[in-house]
Every structure is written in structure tokens, then in C-alpha cells.
Amino acid sequence: MMEALSPANIGLLLFGIFFVLLLIGSPIMVALGVATMACFIVLDIDLSLMIERAFASLTAFPLMALPAFVLAGSLMEAAGVSRRLVHVAENIVGPTPGGLAISTTLSCVFFGAISGSGPATTAAVGMLMIPAMAKRGYNVGYAAAATATAGGIGIIIPPSIPMVIYGVSGQQSISKMFMAGIIPGILIAVGLSVMHFFLCRNLKTEGLDWSMKTFIHSLRDGFWSILAPVIILGGIYAGIFTPTEAAVVAIFYTILVGIFIHKELTLKSFMASLKTTSWLTGRVLVLVFTATAFGYLLTSYRIPVEIANWILSFTNNVNLVWFFVVILLLFLGMFMETLAIIMLVTPVLLPIMTAYGVDPIHFGIILICCCGIGFSTPPLGENMFIASGIANISLEEISLKALPLVAINIAVIAILVMFPDIVLFLPNLMGTGLQ
């Protein structure tokens, strides 16, 4: 049976079963697992090999960073770190038009540098900023849209859980991915801030009672909170510890700050953080388990190479290929979870893009940025659902208000695609020392 099937036929069988199961409403991990299992049976391959390959993926050392970063982000919220970061962001912006919307964006940058998760960033910042914006005269739908779209920065600003997953599945340096995400994350934050300034330039809102005294007070109160991302990222880039070890350092740092300095971390909130972490991590690891077995079939039968050769027969224009890839990623982001997209498309698209001379780190960052937009585009749009729940308004209203903010996100991605040196500048600057 094995000799009778070409890589193209195996690919059609694999993806055919996968998409049929998705269409009938199967969870993505079930669709990945069943499609892989069916192909193993057709190819007369021992199913124990599927389990062996999938289990091996879960023992990867970098993957240990996943539960640690999730726990660190959850503990930051319980320890009062996220609230202080938001207060600092508010005072940095001051009385600027659209100031609270801009400070929401800055808060997402700060919190993203701790949690590594888009939904976690949206929830932590949204609980504080959406009611504050509504109280000061902002449209509630706009406040929710501002939080949901800015929450996507949480996976672009390092450390980032999706970057860890991409590094594991694409066998790329996680430290280089982290370094490469800094400038794109800042550019998207600046783009969103400019759009907020433009959209809110004539908006009559009740501004903050800003003064240098309150600004200095917010910095003093938020000193230990600001120090968290400095320690985490500084330690990684200085080579003191790996991204995985940095996540553990973040947990212990947060516990010490929460208990002895802020004195807000209680046993009850600590146990709630553990519960959140186990639920999120378990869901992700099941997905990684099945996606790895799926990827094993793709690579074993050189299916990505076949797809790459097929595309190469149509065009040699890398910009045209980038256009279709970005459109595909944005489309997938509307219907699939970020980690599922990364696990699914990395073994397929990475070999194609490298065949066109694209740097794997550059491709990874564009992939993550597109996934960041997926958080704020329905029907899936996890950030949208979180913001909708906090603001208590319909998803349709938020989606309409989010359109210009999503557009500016896409414009920044287009710039990053056309000028890869923007993405690769910091990793290249750090040289080969990053692992």
C-alpha cells in the first residue's frame, strides 16, 4: 500500500480528512489526530510510532517554558503587578488626545513582556482599562476594540508563548525569535497609538489629573513591576539564563514581590493561578501532541517540498508568495487558535519560504504577527470574546470599531514583509551567541 501512494496522494488524504473533520465541528486536536492515525493505517505504519513521535515532542526542554510563562503571567495579575504597570502607562501618556486608548496599548506592551499570551494580556489590561475608558467618555465598543487589538501585542513582545512553540516546531532559536519580536511589537504599538490619536483627536473626554508628582509616584509604586520584564529579558539576552529558565525566574520573582513587597498575593489567588495554568497548559500540550504526529507525516513524505515545487512552478516572485501567505495566515486566524496555526503551517510553509530565500526568523515573526491579528478578528477572535465579556456588549459592535485598528496592524505587517532587516536587525546585532 505504501508504494502505491505518492507524496501528493498522502497529502491529499491527510489534509482531506483533516478539513472534513473540521467542517463537521471536531476539535482541532481531534481532527489532527484522526487524520494522522488514518494515514498511518493506510500506509501500514505501526500506530505506536505515532505515539512515540508525539510523546517525544512533549519532552523538548524549550517547551517547559510554556507552563512557566503562563503561571508567571497569572501570578503577575494576582500580585498586583499588572495593575501597577497599567498605572505607569496611564501617566506616561498623560492628557494626550486618545490618551487612555494609547495607555491601553502601552499597558499591553508592558504586560506582554511578562505574560507572553494575547488573551492573558487582554484580560489583565481590559479588566482595568475598559471600565476606566467608559467612565471618561469613550465609546464602550471602542474601548473594548482598543483592548482586544492591543492584546495581540502580547504574543509579539517577548517573551512569547507562540514564539516558544514556533521555535520548537520549526527548530529555530527561541532567543533569536524573542530578540526579533521587539521592534515589530514596538512598531505595531506605535501604529495603534497613532491611529488612536487620529480617531480620538476631536473626542471630548474627561482627562487624567496628570502632574509630574503623580507620574513620579506611579513610577515609584510600579518600580518592582517595571523591573520584572527588565530582569526576564535582560537575563535572556545577557546569556545569564535560557528562555525556559527565565520563565522560572519570573515565577519566583513574582512570588517574592507579591508576598513581601506588594503583599497582595494570597494562598487563594495562588491556587487560582495554578488552576488557570494547568487548564491552559493541558489544552496546549494535547494540541502539540497531535500536531507533532501530523507534522511527522508531512516531513517524512516531503509533502512541503512537493507543495513548494508546485508553487515555484507558478512564480519565482517572493513578494507575490508573501502576499498569498499573509492572506492565508490572516484567514486561518479568523477560524483557528494561534498555537494550532503555528503547529499546522510551520512544517508546511517554512520549507516553502526558505526555498525562496526567506530567513526562518523573519518568517516566524510575520507568522506570529498575523496570529496576533487573528486574536481580534471574528468569528474565533479570543481577545474579542474576552473584551466583549468585560464590556458586556456584542461582538459585532466591537468588530466594527476594530476595523481601522486591524487595518493599521496589517499595514505594519506589510512593512515588515518588505523590509526584513527591520525584523532581523537585533538578532544579527547580537550575533551567533543567541541560542
C-alpha cell at 217: 509616584
Give the 3-state secondary structure percentages of the chain, helix then strand then coil, rounded to 5: 80, 0, 20
C-alpha cell at 394: 456584542
Helix H or strand E segment including 311: helix 303-312
Q: What is the DSSP letter of 172?
A: -
For the chain, first and last CA: distance in Å? 42
pLDDT at residue 304 in the model: 67
Alpha-carbon torsion (34, 38, 41, 46), positive or negative: negative
pLDDT at residue 181 in the model: 93
C-alpha cell at 225: 513591576
- Residue pair 248/72 in contact (Cβ under 8 Å)? The answer is no
Query: What pLDDT tens digit does each residue of the chain (435 aa) get?
Result: 444 577 778 888 888 998 898 888 887 778 888 998 998 898 888 888 877 877 776 776 666 777 877 787 778 878 888 778 777 877 777 667 778 888 889 888 887 777 677 777 787 788 778 887 887 788 899 999 999 999 889 889 888 888 988 998 888 988 899 999 999 999 999 999 999 989 988 776 555 566 788 888 888 988 998 888 788 778 877 778 777 787 788 889 989 999 999 888 899 999 998 987 887 777 667 777 777 777 778 777 777 667 767 766 777 788 888 998 898 888 888 767 787 788 878 888 898 899 888 999 999 999 999 999 988 887 667 788 778 877 888 877 888 899 999 999 999 999 999 999 999 999 988 765 455
CA distance 331 to 324: 10
pLDDT at residue 10 in the model: 85
pLDDT at residue 2 in the model: 46
CA distance 342 to 170: 9
Q: Is 94 left (phi over 0), alpha (psi -120 to 50) or beta?
A: left
User: What is 75-121 written as a DSSP string?
Assistant: HHHHTTHHHHHHHHHHHHHTT-TTHHHHHHHHHHHHHHHHH--HHHH
Residue 311 CB: number of other CB atoms within 10 A?
17
CA distance 41 to 200: 59
Report the SS3 class of residue 96.
Answer: coil
